[in-house]
Amino acid sequence: MKTFHIIAAILTVFFSISLQGCKDLTELNENPNGTDESEVNPNLVLPTVLTEGAKTYLNLGYQEVAGVMQHTQKDAWYDAHNDYAWSGSGSQNWSGCYSVLRNNQVLINRAEELSLEFHYGVGLVMRAFMFGLITDVWGDAPYTDALRAEQGGSENLLPKYDNQETIYRGVIEDLERASELLSKDPSSYTSILPTADVYFNGNPARWRQFANSLLLRYHMRLSEKLPSESRAAIERIYGDRQRYPFILNSEHDVAMAFPGTNQSDSWPTNTVNDASGSNYRRLKMCATLVEYMQQRHDPRLAVWAKKVEVPLVVSSEFPAGTDEIVNGKRHLSPDRVANTTVNTDPDYVGLPASVSALPSGYNLNPTPGQTSFNPHVSYLHERYSMAKDPLLKARLLSAAEVHFILAEAALKGWNVGDAKTHYENAIKSSLETWNVAGAYTDYIAHPRVTFQNKLEQLIEQKWVASWTAATESWFDYRRTGYPALKAGPVAIRQAIPVRFLYMQDELNINSKNVAEAMERLELTSYSRTDGKNSPWSKPWLMQGTSKPW
């Protein structure tokens, strides 16, 4: 009977709540912890925009695109990373980018309403950064009609795709406006909360430098399609440093550190929160990058890569059938490696690009498979298994990149100073970023590093400097053809892809608009079997340029 009375009491409470009517039920459906967008403090939105924007950029440049540009390779769960078997999932889906943009639009709206010029300027920079990234990666995309779903109407729920040129021009317009908004004396801005700005601690001058450096990036991006406009813009920016201050010092690199307190704010391949360690373990240095750096005695290699744990030693002096570990080295007689390619470098061994259907078996790994521990190939340096480290940062833009842009502009004959000086400053800035500045004199004197007045050399060095931000080297490759990378033997195409494909949910839901965008793509000999929506179809930026292949 006691149980019955408890149940009866519960039912009585339930029915008394139910009888309070629809109004109370509506109130119960409200989120007591939520904030109406029309009342939100911009400083509460800003950290989310900045952290998620930086992580989105890092996840591209440190993961799939690092595989495309042969900075890294994977020896497990490798199809997308090594072989370009893309499906539009994970980092290949733009939902994360648009999520950042939706939050950023709240920041912009509130900044306008409250007349907060600092926050408005920051919002414009981040809008340009994210929309620029979207069109760089996918091509045509929702832009003019994007971020309006709450307004209703099919044009907002199913936005049209703007052409790539329109988006780039919008990006440049936002950056020009942001530079103006952020040009005032710091004392003239109000409501800045330094801790909310995880990039620059509330410093308007640093944001202005970021905006103008992005202008240099995007004008150079357009230099093959709009050469006269790009030249005029870059010369104008370079020639008026008072109006257009930009990043020239590595101390002003745009980078976000990781606190490392939990999975969401830690370095993505850390083994602190990932007890299995698989995300770190399966990521290896790519032989293309390793060998390039070794040939030049590049001091950054030891910062990024771990030496092989057990080097291979093959010698005819060993008796036939020899295969044993001696003093930390694996000794092999020639008959044990017959018809097998092995790398016996005693220090660093990279995993070749798309080397085989079983990359974990490379270099006589004794434990191939999904959970392999390959002691004969270089892992990334141990710091990349940590939750945080002074060098573990999401790097959005660097002084090295700016100097490389100016060096390239000078090579084109544009009025931006001396190409050699910019090239050397670019390399020096990169070495400073990675704490090996002391090696600059020896490195720049290496015959393969000393300036040769060639675009190929310049872009190759820029490719090296883009470590963990390989998206920039991918975009450079598409417009220049450098570095002259070759797809690996088991890649699904024998060419480097040039874009991510449009996702299946877009094809299903926004079919009319995505179909129109796909029609504007250019089929190539590598994309024909896929149709227009192929990673090897060319968007506007590459059409008519005969680049990259």
Give me the sign of the Cα torsion angle 431, 435, 436, 440.
positive
Token output for 45:
């939105």
Give the model confidence (pLDDT) of 102-146 as tens digits: 999 999 999 999 999 999 999 999 999 999 999 999 999 999 999
pLDDT at 15: 31
Amino acid at 240: D
Please give the average per-residue pLDDT across 176-187, as a whole number: 97
Please give the average per-residue pLDDT across 270-274, as a whole number: 93
pTM for the model: 0.92
Helix (H, G, I), strand (E, B) or coil at 257: strand
Which residues on neighbouring strands pair with residue 331, listed in sequence order?
Answer: 313, 324
* Residue listed under structure tokens 């790539």: 164
pLDDT at 4: 31
pLDDT above 90 (res 224): yes
- Run of H or E including 109: helix 95-113
Amino acid at 530: D
Please give the average per-residue pLDDT across 388-394, as a whole number: 98
Nearest CA to 80 among 533, 497, 524, 548? 497
pLDDT above 90 (res 1): no
Helix (H, G, I), strand (E, B) or coil at 94: coil
Pairing mode of beta strands 323-326, 329-332: antiparallel
Give the model confidence (pLDDT) of 290-349 as tens digits: 999 999 999 999 999 999 999 999 999 999 999 999 999 999 999 999 989 899 999 999
Which has more pLDDT, 201 or 274? 201
> 89: pLDDT confidence band, cut at 50, 70 and 90?
confident
Peptide linkage before 47 cis (omega within 30 of 0): no
Q: Which DSSP state fits 522?
A: B
What CA–CA distance (Å, rounded) separates 171 from 217?
Answer: 11
Q: List the alpha helices (DSSP H) in 200-354.
A: 204-221, 227-239, 278-281, 287-295, 301-304
Please give the average per-residue pLDDT across 430-439, as a whole number: 98
Nearest CA to 381 among 435, 338, 337, 429? 435
pLDDT above 70 (res 273): yes
* 343 within 8 A of 476, measured Cβ to Cβ: no
* Average pLDDT score over the chain: 92
Number of CB atoms found within 10 A of residue 35's CB: 12
